[in-house]
């Protein structure tokens, strides 16, 4: 933090003298502000603290660089912290180690300067590399610029084009979550579409870091959305509380999890129909064909097939595939 403040004081002093007309005409030009100094001056205290601990100050202060930074507000950092169980952003930054913070923050940086007008719809590679290639952000440009991260949640650019001498800053309203940093439960907690699933996993005691879905794994989770749970409750004529209080809840959830990290390519590859063994002993899911979108067939002949709506949400201990129906195992 002291390095940031020292740099800010130096650049602010030069700017102040220039504004007051001090110095001779032959004085060298004012030192340009950088992303680091602009972030500090603009009050991004959580971002500054995280960057300092991550050792990214020099990179963001490099005057020869030309970067694009999506900068989350302090409120965005606080929101992430509370969802992950921390008191606030300060507590989260204190708890996470430097390399983890570096992964998160470099996921917010594009290796070239791009104004909002220069951003086009599609995937933009970031400075964060995962599995040997740059991790990407999905850019949207309809009705303003949005940035969608690995947990499939979009951040809005609330203030575009904050200029800096070594790049440009776009202010965003959420922290972008990269692949491979958080576990499958944490990833689900950060997507509002999985709130019912998260409540069910917690109620069933499957969120343990020792023996549950926050342990080393790896796991493949077929994750039903809130809409999928709503459809199930309507079909069964029960309430959410009925489901959460059911003695079958744990088995239903285990039926959505396979041991091992199976990517979409792994599911597409084998001859069809293919069986996917689940954590519910003796139970399998069936992938009937390679026709896209992929579907899963469960043991309940009366339930509709589940469409795999999104694939390969990559967590630190496995992978999540989003599905449109809750899967029902055969009764005991």
Distance CA 87, CA 39 (A): 23
Read off φ and ψ for residue 108, nearest 5 degrees. Answer: -95, 5
Read off φ and ψ for residue 67, nearest 5 degrees. Answer: -120, 165
Predicted pLDDT at 159: 95
Mean pLDDT of 151-171: 95
pLDDT category, 270, cuts 50, 70, 90? confident
Q: Are 69 and 162 in contact (CB under 8 A)?
A: no
Distance CA 111, CA 59 (A): 11
Domains and CATH numbers, the chain: 2-172 (2.30.180.10), 184-323 (2.30.180.10)
Q: Are 243 and 233 in contact (CB under 8 A)?
A: yes
List 283's β-bridge partners, or say none.
Answer: none
Q: Are 60 and 38 in contact (CB under 8 A)?
A: no
* More confident site: 293 or 51: 51
Q: Are 148 and 138 in contact (CB under 8 A)?
A: yes
pLDDT category, 23, cuts 50, 70, 90? very low
Element spanning 231, H or E? helix 226-236
Distance CA 100, CA 53 (A): 10
Element spanning 235, H or E? helix 226-236
pLDDT over 90 at 318, yes or no: yes
Predicted pLDDT at 268: 76
Mean pLDDT of 314-324: 96
pLDDT over 90 at 179, yes or no: yes
pLDDT digits (tens, 9 = 90+) for 111-125: 999 999 999 999 999
- What is the token pair recorded at 6? 């020292």
Percent of the chain with pLDDT over 70: 90
Distance CA 33, CA 91 (A): 29
Distance CA 198, CA 271 (A): 33
Q: Are strands 219-224 and 318-323 parallel, antiparallel or unpaired?
A: parallel
Predicted pLDDT at 32: 53
Least confident of 6-15, 56-65, 120-129, 218-227: 6-15
Q: Are strands 167-172 and 219-224 parallel, antiparallel or unpaired?
A: unpaired
pLDDT over 80 at 22, yes or no: no
pLDDT category, 28, cuts 50, 70, 90? very low
CA distances from 196 to 50, 100, 318 (A): 31, 28, 20
pLDDT over 70 at 195, yes or no: yes
Q: What is the mean pLDDT of the chain?
A: 88
- What is the token pair recorded at 300? 């309940």
pLDDT digits (tens, 9 = 90+) for 57-79: 888 888 888 999 999 999 999 99
Percent of the chain with pLDDT over 90: 67
pLDDT over 60 at 17, yes or no: no
The one-character DSSP state at 28 is P
């Amino acid at each position: 933090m002291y390095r940031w403040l020292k740099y800010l004081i130096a650049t602010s002093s030069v700017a102040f003298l220039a504004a007051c007309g001090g110095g001779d005409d032959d004085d060298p030009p004012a030192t340009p502000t950088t992303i680091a100094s602009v972030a500090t001056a603009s009050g991004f205290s959580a971002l500054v603290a995280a960057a300092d601990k991550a050792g990214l100050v020099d990179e963001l202060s490099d005057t020869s660089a030309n970067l694009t930074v999506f900068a989350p507000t302090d409120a965005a950092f606080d929101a992430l912290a509370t969802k992950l169980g921390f008191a606030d952003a300060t507590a989260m930054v204190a708890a996470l180690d430097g390399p983890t913070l570096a992964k998160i923050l470099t996921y917010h940086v594009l290796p070239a300067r791009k104004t909002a007008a220069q951003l086009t719809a599609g995937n933009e590679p970031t400075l964060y590399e995962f599995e040997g290639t740059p991790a990407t952000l999905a850019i949207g440009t309809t009705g303003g610029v949005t940035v969608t991260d690995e947990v499939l949640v979009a951040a809005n650019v609330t203030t575009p084009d904050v200029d800096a001498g070594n790049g440009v800053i776009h202010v965003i309203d959420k922290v972008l979550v990269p692949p491979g940093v958080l576990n499958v439960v944490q990833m689900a907690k950060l997507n509002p579409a999985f709130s019912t699933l998260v409540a069910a996993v917690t109620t069933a005691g499957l969120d343990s870091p020792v023996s549950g879905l926050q342990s080393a794994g790896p796991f493949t989770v077929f994750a039903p959305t809130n809409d999928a749970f709503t459809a199930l409750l309507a079909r069964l004529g029960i309430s959410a509380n009925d489901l959460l209080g059911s003695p079958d809840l744990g088995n239903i959830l285990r039926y959505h999890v396979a041991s091992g990290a199976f990517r979409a390519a792994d599911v597409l590859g084998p001859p069809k129909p293919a069986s996917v063994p689940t954590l519910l002993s003796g139970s399998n899911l069936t992938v009937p064909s390679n026709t896209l979108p992929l579907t899963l067939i469960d043991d309940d002949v009366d339930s509709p097939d589940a469409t795999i709506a999104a694939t390969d949400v990559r967590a630190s201990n496995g992978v999540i595939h989003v599905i449109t129906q809750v899967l029902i195992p055969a009764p005991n």
